[in-house]
Amino acid sequence: MEKSGRPEKEWLTGRSVQLSILVLLLEATLAYVVSVVYGVTQESPNAGVGSGMAVFLLPVLAVFAAGIAGALTVGLVLPTAWLSEVLGHRFAGRAAWWWVPVAAGAVSLVVVAVVVPLAGGGTGAGAVALGWVLTTAALTVPALLWRSRRERILKPVALWGVAAIVLTAVLGGVGLATGVLKEYRPPALASADLVGRWSDGQGGTVTFTPDGRVTVVDIDDNLGGWGHGDGEGDGAICTGQGTWTYEPGGGTWSQEVDITVDSCMYGTWNVGGTETRPTLYQYIGDPDSWDLYELRRTDGGP
């Protein structure tokens, strides 16, 4: 029988779909491990917090993740595998494996073109390029395995995937334990480090003096209902004079600066930033949003 030049349909099997879902789940887990390790090294108000709880939630999340992986298989991996077959037969007369990365790159361009506008369009070129590369890689692996004719491939893929995840977690843990990867911690401040003027960058300032007095000018006093006030009817701007104290707590994460001004409702500030660029911050609304109201030094320190 004469061949039509179109890709054969034998590769579209239930085993291929299951294999794609498995690979996507393994990739997602690997990405999660990498993001946790990376997050611990980055400046944040609560670096690493919640990672342990997320581990316990993984079985529940896996159920939802499997559904998402199934949708991605149908919406992205299947088109990638199909396009690689079409391109191979169209330009080379046969479907070769190297057409899979090409097809994955083309599909990833469509994904990036859709996601970037939805994200607000403010993403830099470097981030867009990185997103395209990672998406291409994520689609290439399941699409390549989609072509496999091996009957017993699910178990080896699962074992190798789990091994890669465990190895990544171990290497990340060793890197953090040995100092090769620097875990972020807020700077350890003393009372003398706070003396001076701090600004929110929007005209508001807080000035600490060595005798424990503080002058507050135009500081936002309505942070969405989180803090000492209820955020309703408290007034949006705080100006006045009062006192301040520094509480070192049990470690750098528990440092607090307490400000007492009669006209201000929000008095406790957390310490963040770095040794050379310390900050004082409060959460705006839900702490899980990581939306911060920050004060930075404006006078170069005491």
Query: What band does 122 get if pLDDT is binned at 50, 70 and 90?
Result: low
- Asked whether 259 and 240 are in contact (CB, 8 A), the reply is no
Lowest model confidence (mean pLDDT) among 99-103, 262-266, 286-290: 286-290
Same-domain check for residues 100 and 247? no
Query: Tens digit of pLDDT for each residue in 198-208?
Result: 999 989 999 99
258: domain CATH number is 2.40.128
pLDDT at 118: 77
Is the pLDDT assigned to residue 242 strictly greater than 70?
yes
Residues of the domain holding 224: 191-297
Q: Where are the beta strands (DSSP E) in 134-291?
A: 196-199, 205-208, 213-220, 237-247, 256-261, 268-273, 278-283
Structure tokens at 102: 């090409």
Domain end, chosen from 152, 178, 204, is at 178
Query: Tens digit of pLDDT for each residue in 149-170?
Result: 777 889 999 999 999 999 999 9
Domain count, the chain: 2
* 150 domain-assigned: yes
* 184 domain-assigned: no
Strand partners of residue 259: 244
**Spatial separation of the C-alpha atoms in residues 80 and 11, rounded to whole Å:** 12
Domain end, chosen from 178, 210, 241, is at 178
CA 118 → CA 69, 115, 129, 162, distances in Å? 21, 5, 16, 33
Domain end, chosen from 178, 201, 218, is at 178
Same-domain check for residues 201 and 90? no
* 148 domain-assigned: yes
Same-domain check for residues 66 and 145? yes
